[in-house]
Amino acid sequence: MPLDTETAVRHDWTMGEAEALYHRPFNDLLFDAQTLHRRYFDANQVQLSRLISIKSGGCPEDCAYCPQSAGYDTDVTAEKLMEVDKVVAAARQARDDGATRYCMGAAWRNPKDSDLENVCAMVEEVRALGLETCATLGMLSEPQAMKLKLAGLDYYNHNLDTSEEFYGDIITTRTYQDRLDTLENVRRAGINVCCGGIVGLGESRQDRAGLLVKLANLNPHPESVPINMLVRVEGTPLETVPDLDGIEFVRTLATAKIMMPASVIRLSAGRQEMTDEMQALCFLAGAGSIFVGDKLLTTANPDGDTDNKLFDRLGLRPAPAEGKPA
C-alpha cells in the first residue's frame, strides 16, 4: 500500500507502523523517503559538520562500543581538556574547509561546573567565527544546559543509542531515563536537540524500530538525528560483533526520514567502511548531513578529498550555513 507522503509530522508512531515501514519493498521505501526529504530540504545539498574531541579517554561509563571507556584496553589514552585557543584554531580551519557546524565532544559522564566554564568560552569564540556550535559532554543538569544556552550553544548531542529494551545489553552505567532527562533539560534551555543512535550493535530490527519510535515520538522531533554505523574497535566488548547488512542500514535511514521528515538525518560514524554506492543510497534515503574531516572523535572518517570526489560524482553540494529546511 502506498504511503501518504502528504501526512503532517507525527508524534504518535507505533511499533507496528515502524516495523511495517522496515518491511516495505526497498524501492518503495526509498522512493517515499526521498519524496518526503524533498518536501523539506534541497535533495542535492548536504550539510557539513566537523567533530573534534576536546577531551579524550578516561570516561567512567561502560558503553560497549566506545574506545574511550576507562574500563577497556584500547589505544585511546586519557587526556586533559583542550585549551580554548587550540579548539578555536581547529574550528577556524574547519570553517575554511567548508564546515558550517562545529561539534565539540568530551569523554565525560557529566561535565564539572569548572570544566563547563571552559567549554562555554569555546562555544562563544567558535560561534564568533560564524559557525553553528554543537557539544556532546554527557549528562547535563538543567542549570548546566542554561549556562551553555547563554554562551550561545546551538545544538546539544545526546544519543539514545538503541531501543530501551536492548539498552541494558550495551550500557549499565547510566539509564535510558538518564538520557531522556538530559534531552528534556536541553529542550527547556532552548537548545536544539541532536539525538540518534547506533546500528550494528547486535540489535534486532525490532530494536532499530524501537529506537526510531522513541525518537519520532519526542515532541518536537530532534532537529538533527545522527544514524551511526558501529565502528568496531579492538579492546571493546563489541570488537567481534558481526557486520550489519548495508541494505539494512539504508533501510534504517529511510525509515528515520519517513518518521521524522523535517529533521536532518545525519549519516554519521562508519562512513570509512562504506562504499561510495552505499553512501549514495543513504543520500537517496534522505541523509542530509555528514561529518567531514579524517577523524570522528577517535575513529577514522573519509578525508576531504575523498568526500569532494564523491560529491562531484553524485552532483551534491555543501549546504549553506544552518542547513535548515528550505
10 Å CB burial of residue 27 (0-12, 13-18, 19+) is exposed
Longest dimension (CA), the chain: 56
Residue from 50, 63, 174, 208 carrying the catalytic annotation: 63
Please tell me the distance from the alpha carbon of residue 277 to that of residue 275, in angstroms, as a whole number: 5
Strands 295-296 and 299-300, by their bridges, are antiparallel
Residue from 24, 50, 187, 194 carrying the catalytic annotation: 194
Residue from 50, 59, 101, 179 carrying the catalytic annotation: 59
Is-catalytic flag, 120?
Answer: no
Residue from 24, 174, 179, 266 carrying the catalytic annotation: 266
Candidates 266, 270, 279; CA nearest to 309 is 279
Is-catalytic flag, 195?
Answer: no
**Helix or strand or coil: residue 117?**
helix
Is-catalytic flag, 59?
Answer: yes
**Helix or strand or coil: residue 83?**
coil
C-alpha cell at 320: 549553506
Residue from 66, 120, 195, 282 carrying the catalytic annotation: 66
Phi and psi, residue 55, nearest 5°: -155, 110
Is-catalytic flag, 109?
Answer: no
Please tell me the distance from the alpha carbon of residue 118 to that of residue 7, in angstroms, as a whole number: 44
Candidates 241, 105, 239, 107; CA nearest to 173 is 107
Is-catalytic flag, 194?
Answer: yes
Please tell me the distance from the alpha carbon of residue 74 to that of residue 152, in angstroms, as a whole number: 35
C-alpha cell at 249: 542500514
Candidates 125, 103, 110, 117; CA nearest to 182 is 110
Catalytic residue numbers, as ranges: 59, 63, 66, 103, 134, 194, 266
